[in-house]
């Protein structure tokens, strides 16, 4: 449901008032999606089905939902496959990564393996989307979904911290993009994370964990 909620915020910015807000109450929709995120329900999706009558609006929503959802799935699958790929010298050379086997300590190996798996997931997720000007939100939505109702978001163990993983995938979605489009997407991420935080999706000790020089917008 995180990715559906992101679609709502994105449509709020790019869709005209007359075409969208007369049909759907964004406040109601966001509240339903936030409830779905916390309770694993589908009220938001049901509400959309009731409200959307315009074929053009359905097509626009469908494009964003499918792209975000499928790129997120590709990221997850290729992250897991990446744990195998990053051990192969030829693959590492082709993908321009350094295998975790180059690290000395067991903890460093595990951390590097996770970082490589995320990178491989991002590479193949981008290839799946296939549009260089499109902001591939799939990987960042996966990390946000992992963070919901989790503790110690900023603590690194034998895995990179969720905060570090978030910052890494966030920086990659901006790589090579138009500066004005980057500003718009930063605002979207800030707004989305602020809403999730206000709904108590993270513990008090992890308040503002998602704020950094890349994603923070005043």
In a domain, 218, yes or no: no
pLDDT at 18: 41
In a domain, 192, yes or no: yes
Q: How far is CA 28 from the centre of its chain?
A: 23
Q: For all residues of the chain together, what is the average pLDDT?
A: 80
pLDDT at 24: 57
In a domain, 162, yes or no: yes
Residue 32 CA to residue 42 CA, distance in Å, equals 8
Which has the closest alpha carbon to 121: 159, 95, 147? 95
Which has the closest alpha carbon to 142: 40, 48, 29, 1? 1
CB 103 within 8 A of CB 109: yes
Contacts of 85 (CB under 8 A, 6+ apart): 91, 95, 120
In a domain, 213, yes or no: no
In a domain, 216, yes or no: no
Which residues constitute the domain of residue 187?
2-206
In a domain, 217, yes or no: no
Question: Over pLDDT 90: what percentage of the chain?
Answer: 32
CB 113 within 8 A of CB 158: no
Taking phi first (over 0 means left), then psi (-120 to 50 degrees means alpha), and beta for anything else, what does residue 216 get? beta
Q: How far is CA 7 from the centre of its chain?
A: 11
Question: What mean pLDDT do residues 58-78 have?
Answer: 79
Residue 138 CA to residue 130 CA, distance in Å, equals 13
Range in 29-33, 92-96, 107-111, 150-154 the model is least confident about: 29-33
Threshold 0.85, pTM exceeds? no
In a domain, 63, yes or no: yes
Task: Count CB neighbours of 119 within 10 A.
Answer: 21
Check whether 53 has a pLDDT greater than 80. Answer: no
Highest mean pLDDT among 6-20, 36-50, 62-76: 62-76
Number of domains the chain contains = 1
Q: Say which DSSP state 147 is in.
A: H
Band (195; pLDDT cuts 50, 70, 90): confident
Query: Which element (helix H / strand E) includes 125?
Result: helix 106-129
Task: Count CB neighbours of 176 within 10 A.
Answer: 8
Check whether 20 has a pLDDT greater than 70. Answer: no
pLDDT at 102: 92
In a domain, 215, yes or no: no
Residue 119 CA to residue 97 CA, distance in Å, equals 9
Question: What mean pLDDT do residues 147-156 have?
Answer: 89
């Amino acid at each position: 449901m995180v990715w559906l909620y992101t679609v709502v915020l994105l449509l709020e910015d790019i869709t005209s008032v007359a075409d969208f807000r007369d049909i759907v109450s964004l406040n109601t929709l966001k509240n339903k999606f936030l409830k779905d995120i916390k309770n694993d329900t589908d009220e938001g999706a049901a509400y959309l089905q009731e409200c959307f009558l315009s074929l053009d609006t359905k097509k626009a929503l469908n494009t964003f939902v499918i792209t975000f959802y499928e790129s997120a799935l590709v990221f997850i699958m290729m992250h897991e496959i990446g744990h195998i790929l990053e051990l192969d010298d030829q693959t590492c050379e082709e993908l321009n990564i350094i295998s975790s086997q180059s690290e000395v300590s067991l903890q460093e190996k595990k951390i590097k393996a996770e970082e490589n798996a995320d990178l491989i997931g991002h590479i193949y997720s981008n290839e799946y989307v296939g549009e260089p000007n499109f902001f591939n939100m799939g990987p960042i939505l996966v990390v946000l979904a992992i963070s919901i109702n989790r503790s110690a978001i900023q603590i690194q163990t034998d895995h990179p911290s969720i905060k570090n993983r978030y910052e890494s995938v966030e920086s990659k979605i901006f790589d090579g993009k138009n500066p004005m489009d980057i500003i718009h997407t930063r605002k979207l991420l800030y707004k989305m994370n602020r809403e999730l935080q206000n709904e108590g999706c993270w513990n008090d000790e992890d308040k503002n964990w998602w704020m950094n020089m890349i994603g923070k917008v005043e």
